Amino acid sequence: MDTIFQACAIVGGTLIVCQFLLTLFGMGGDHDADHGGDAGGHDVGGHDHGATDHGSSWLFGMLTIRTLSAAAAFFGLTGMAAGHAGMDDLPTICLAVAAGLAAFFVVGWVMRLLHKLNVDGTVRIDRAVGCRGAVYVSIPAAKAGLGKVHVNVVNRTLELQALTAQQELPTGMPIIVVGVVGPDTVEVAAALESERKVHA
């Protein structure tokens, strides 16, 4: 058993260190957090699947590299510590499993909390109305599809999905935000043409 505990501790600890270094150098991203938030917070298709499905979605949302790494590391470290303390195999395994599960849920809860704080702390998208920017990915005409824009909001440059009711807006065209469509989507128009609409 000691070999299994050592392997789990090494693998889990290595993954934790790698994730920390990637985050430190700006390459870690927020995939775990986004995945957790989407899995736990959205009901695909708008259907109510009942408490069992909501519970399984919540649990699935907890399954990330961070939570699994923490669980493996604490399982291994606790098992090694208990073994070196002279505990029998069964209590050692039970204690290691308990520590792994505790680490899994604590890290998952912390990541969800950080994600919520990050969402609450970001510039609210409704503040983008009236702000100027430029088209990053061309936007189809007549709301036929989505493009992307870079918008300066409260001294921060945000990349948002965008649609327009006007003609196609090519990459690089100056735009102004005239409305909010969704959590990360805005309606824009060519800057000169939209000024009257925003100030009306």
Of 131-145, 157-171, 180-194, minimum mean pLDDT range: 180-194
Produce one character per residue of 77-96: b if its CB has 16 or more CB atoms within 10 Å, e if not: bbbbbbbeeeeeeeebbebb
Task: Kindly report, as residue ranges, where domains of CATH 2.40.50.140 are found in the chain.
Answer: 125-199
Structurally, at CATH architecture level, domain 125-199 sits in Beta Barrel (2.40)
Which of the residue ranges 1-15, 38-52, 87-101 would you say has the lowest mean pLDDT?
Answer: 38-52
DSSP letter for 139, please.
B
Which H helix or E strand runs over 152? strand 147-153
pLDDT bin (cut points 50, 70, 90) of residue 187 is very high
Q: Please state, in angstroms and rounded to a whole number, the distance separating the CA atoms of residues 51 and 65.
A: 26
149-177 mean pLDDT: 89
- Burial level of 176, CB count in 10 A (0-12/13-18/19+)? buried
Task: Tell me, yes or no, if the pTM score tops 0.75.
Answer: no
Residue-wise pLDDT tens digits, 2-13: 888 889 889 888
pLDDT at 76 over 70: yes
